[in-house]
Amino acid sequence: MELTTLSYLDLMLQVGILVALVFDYLVLREKNLKRHGMLMTGLFAINTVSVAAIMLPPFLGQTAEILENALAAESLLFLSHHALGLIAEILGGFLVLKWLLKSFCKGKTLMRATMATWIVSILLGIVLFAWHLIG
C-alpha cells in the first residue's frame, strides 16, 4: 500500500476520533447522555465517510494480493484492522440508529464492546500506517 496525502489525512482524522472517544468517555462519566449520543453520532458519521471515501478504495484494490498472502504478518494486520473496523461500523450503526429513533440507547455492554472494538481497530490502523511508513 502506498501512503498518499489522503492516507496522512485519514491518520490525523482517526487520531482525532480516538481522542474524541476518550473525551466522550469523560463526558459520559458526567452522565450527560444527550451530549454523548450527539458526539458518538457525529464520530460515527465522520468515520463512515472516512471509511467509504479513503479506506475502502485501497482495500478493494488490494484484496486479491492480501488474500494470496493471508498468513503474512502485514496481511494479518491489514485483515484484522479491517475486520474489527467493519464490526465496529456495524455495531456503531446499530447503536446510533437506536439512539436516533429513541433519543436514548440502553445497553452498556454493547456500547463498551463497540467502543473497545473501535479503539482497537484505530490502533491497528495506526500500527499498519507506521508499518508502511517504516517499510
- Residue 17: enclosing H or E segment and its boundaries? helix 5-29
Look at residue 130 and tell me if it is in a domain: no
Look at residue 113 and tell me if it is in a domain: yes
Look at residue 104 and tell me if it is in a domain: yes
Per the listing, cell 436516533 goes with 100
Q: How many domains does the chain have?
A: 1
DSSP 72: S
Report the C-alpha gap between 14 and 54 in whole angstroms: 11
Q: What is the pLDDT of residue 8?
A: 92
Full domain range(s) for residue 113: 5-125
CA distances from 135 to 48, 111, 128 (A): 28, 36, 10
pLDDT in tens, the chain (135 residues): 577 888 899 999 999 999 999 888 887 787 788 888 899 999 999 999 999 998 888 777 777 777 677 667 777 888 899 899 999 999 999 999 998 888 666 778 999 999 999 999 999 999 989 988 887
Look at residue 135 and tell me if it is in a domain: no
Look at residue 133 and tell me if it is in a domain: no
Look at residue 131 and tell me if it is in a domain: no
Report the C-alpha gap between 5 and 107 in whole angstroms: 39
